[in-house]
């Protein structure tokens, strides 16, 4: 049996200079067991995760703006499993302390503002864990691949992203950026599943096939984005994702580490426990 450890997930941080060809999307770094082992290891820390998330939420309630928060940013090619990863990991959390935001094509209203306007509207509140299913990186990578903005604007957006993420970090937001790395062949399997299974028709978008034609362009654009925005306060991790269960486990462990490093304590009572105990008993 292979025991995947939190430190194994931390090793998935990108190497610089980053290049996708250095990463096998079908690999499972740090894990050599079978499916049964994988399922077991993925659940090892669920109780701790649940308690730590409650602790974070409690601090948000007690400390207000001084409480920390977590922002998980998920990127990846179409069908890489971003939504499934969030659903899997967040299933162990209390929903009132978490939020998932999916960023699709900008609306007309959003296009009237700077590209970060719609992102800032969903900044994590103190005590919250927020996941971005796609993010502000879409407004650099996709725009660049299709030539919708020039390189001067691309550079401005990278500067804005670095500034934005530093501002979040300075406010106590822990940022975890994960790229779910899949192979082109695996994407075909996922797309075929969506057209063969009536229960998944709703997931299929004809544009996904069109975008496949830009695979190499997207790979170069994402690699450049990762190289230019990987910071200690906002690190990038590459999660090999042809094995979706492995990727979800790794993401769960990255969030676990972020929660552990906060080293939070339960908030002190702002009342006299004994006085309130007697009041409760007297109210029988």
> What is the pLDDT of the chain when averaged over all its residues?
96
Report pTM. 0.95
Give Cβ neighbours of residue 216 (< 8 Å, ≥ 6 apart).
none
At 190 the three-state DSSP class reads helix
Q: How confident is the model at residue 282 (pLDDT cuts 50, 70, 90)?
A: very high
CA angle 33, 34, 39 (to 5 degrees): 95
Query: What does the domain layout of the chain look like in residue ranges?
Result: 6-282
166-204 pLDDT per residue, tens:
999 999 999 999 999 999 999 999 999 999 999 999 999
pLDDT of residue 284: 84
- 2.40.37.10, 3.40.50.300, 3.60.20.10, 3.20.20.140: which CATH number matches 6-282? 3.40.50.300
Q: Give the pair of three-digit tokens for residue 39.
A: 């399922």
């Amino acid at each position: 049996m292979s025991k995947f450890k939190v430190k194994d997930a931390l090793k998935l941080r990108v190497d610089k200079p980053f290049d996708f060809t250095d990463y096998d999307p079908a690999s499972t770094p740090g894990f050599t067991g079978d499916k049964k082992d994988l399922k077991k290891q993925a659940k090892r820390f669920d109780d701790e995760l649940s308690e730590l998330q409650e602790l974070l939420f409690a601090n948000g309630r007690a400390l207000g703006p001084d409480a920390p928060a977590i922002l998980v940013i998920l990127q990846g090619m179409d069908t890489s499993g971003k939504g499934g990863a969030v659903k899997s990991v967040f299933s162990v959390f209390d929903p009132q302390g978490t939020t998932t935001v999916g960023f699709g094509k900008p609306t007309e209203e959003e296009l009237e503002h700077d590209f970060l306007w719609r992102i800032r509207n969903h900044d994590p509140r103190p005590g919250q864990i927020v996941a971005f299913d796609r993010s502000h990186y879409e407004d650099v990578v996709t725009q660049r691949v299709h030539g919708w903005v020039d390189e001067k604007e691309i550079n401005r957006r990278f500067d804005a992203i670095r500034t934005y993420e530093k501002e979040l970090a300075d406010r106590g937001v822990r940022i975890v950026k994960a790229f779910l790395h899949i192979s082109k062949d695996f994407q075909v399997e996922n797309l075929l599943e969506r057209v063969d299974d009536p229960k998944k028709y709703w997931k299929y978008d004809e544009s996904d096939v069109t975008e496949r034609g830009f695979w190499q362009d997207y790979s170069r654009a994402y690699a450049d984005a990762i190289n230019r925005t990987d910071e200690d306060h906002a690190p990038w991790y590459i999660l090999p994702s042809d094995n979706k269960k492995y990727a979800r486990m790794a993401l769960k462990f990255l969030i676990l580490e972020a929660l552990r490093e906060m080293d939070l304590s339960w908030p002190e009572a702002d009342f006299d426990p004994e006085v309130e105990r007697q009041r409760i008993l007297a109210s029988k």
